[in-house]
Structure 1
Amino acid sequence: MSIVDRLREHVEDNQRGMLYDLVFALVWVAFVDALFRFVFPPSYPEWAFYLFMLAGIPAYFGFFWSLKMAKAQQQE
């Protein structure tokens, strides 16, 4: 099995999840960018911007974990 076949199979198996990941990342980056452009003063420290971007990692897992929990409760 070639690498292209493996990649194609992986994308076919995880298509929906990969789309959700991409949408979350785009929304998070747009949110942080808008926050630092329009809400915070222009003299913000650069490390704060990167800290907010990095906060997207726990936000991602927290969002999808809570979504999973809500779906489980709804099925009960």
Structure 2
Amino acid sequence: MTSHSRDEPLTKLNEPESNDSHDKLNHARVPNCEAIATSSHVFIHAITAIRPGEEPFIDYRLVADGKITDEVCAEYA
């Protein structure tokens, strides 16, 4: 993995032999990355500088516009 700044996307997390990039992301209350969802993809973007060898972290907590209801939680389950 190469070093990234907050202004450039973190585009390569998975090893060439693996398509499971999600297994490279762990939770942190103060993450260094954020997930940006589109209708067809989820992009991981560095929000702080990430040095070579440093692990990328995202916040697993659900963030949604408006009130988080049981229905909203079920949609993301």
When you count helix as a share of all residues, which structure comes out higher? 1
Scaled by the length of structure 1, what TM-score is found? 0.23
Q: Comparing both chains, which one has the higher relative contact order based on Cα–Cα distances under 8 Å and sequence gaps of 6 or more?
A: 2
Structure having the higher Rg = 1
Scaled by the length of structure 2, what TM-score is found? 0.23
When you count strand as a share of all residues, which structure comes out higher? 2
